[in-house]
Amino acid sequence: AQSVTQLDSQVPVFEEAPVELRCNYSSSVSVYLFWYVQYPNQGLQLLLKYLSGSTLVKGINGFEAEFNKSQTSFHLRKPSVHISDTAEYFCAVSEGYGGATNKLIFGTGTLLAVQP
Amino acid sequence: NAGVMQNPRHLVRRRGQEARLRCSPMKGHSHVYWYRQLPEEGLKFMVYLQKENIIDESGMPKERFSAEFPKEGPSILRIQQVVRGDSAAYFCASSPTSGGGRTGELFFGEGSRLTVL
């Protein structure tokens, strides 16, 4: 069975500072990995995804993430955050190539709170 | 190009009533997933449907909950005899394909927020 762990429930950071949101996963099969963002009272929007190839993935809004197979991690980073980045961030995993479905397993989320 | 449409956005029910949540997938998508988000928690998978078929309902509570995706019309998540613990945001997501060749991404609606009084 697959699972995702986001150890940090909340990450406070000052505007223009760098940030890293941590994500670790467990799976017995190959995986696809995703980061989604949820703004208050809205649905989820895809930030970026890793399917295969380069382990450094760039997404929207200046975010990037690095897939580390040996550490089973997929941490999200941004070199300089803005107030508008304040939101809940979810890491998710699904079966990789050859998998039967797009079913996603989500972590519990990390609230990124950007302060002026 | 409309995204995933969910309605109602907000629904208030009293204990014992029924709640029906509707989801129209993106155009060209034939796979629908329902998730539940409880306060202060992540999203929990409930059910995966294709047209007229339930593919995976491993996350559905055994009682009171049902889902369908008919040949015509939206997918419906039905909760009978609601209880306060059913209060949550229910999200629908769709994808165009499954199996080989898929890109894995799910496209989410804005959710239906159920409050049980």
CB atoms within 10 A of CB A104: 27
Residue B98: is its pLDDT beyond 70? no
**Mind telling me how many Å the CA of A110 is from chain B's nearest CA?**
9
Question: pLDDT tens digit string along B49-81?
Answer: 998 999 999 999 999 999 999 999 999 999 999
Minimal-distance CA residue of chain B relative to A35:
B105
Could you give the CA distance from residue B89 to residue B6 in angstroms, rounded to a whole number? 11
B33 and A36 within 8 Å at the Cβ level: the answer is no
Per-residue pLDDT tens for A35-86?
A: 999 998 888 999 999 988 889 999 999 999 999 999 999 999 999 999 999 9
* CA nearest to A92 within chain B: B43
Instruction: Report d(CA B33, CA B60) in Å as an integer.
Output: 11
Query: Is residue A101 pLDDT above 80, yes or no?
Result: no
Q: What is the pLDDT of residues A10-26, one digit of tens each?
A: 999 999 999 999 999 99
DSSP for A11-48, please give it: EEEETT--EEE--EEE-SS-EEEEEEEE-TTS-EEEEE
Using the beta-carbon criterion (under 8 Å), do A102 and B43 form an inter-chain contact? no
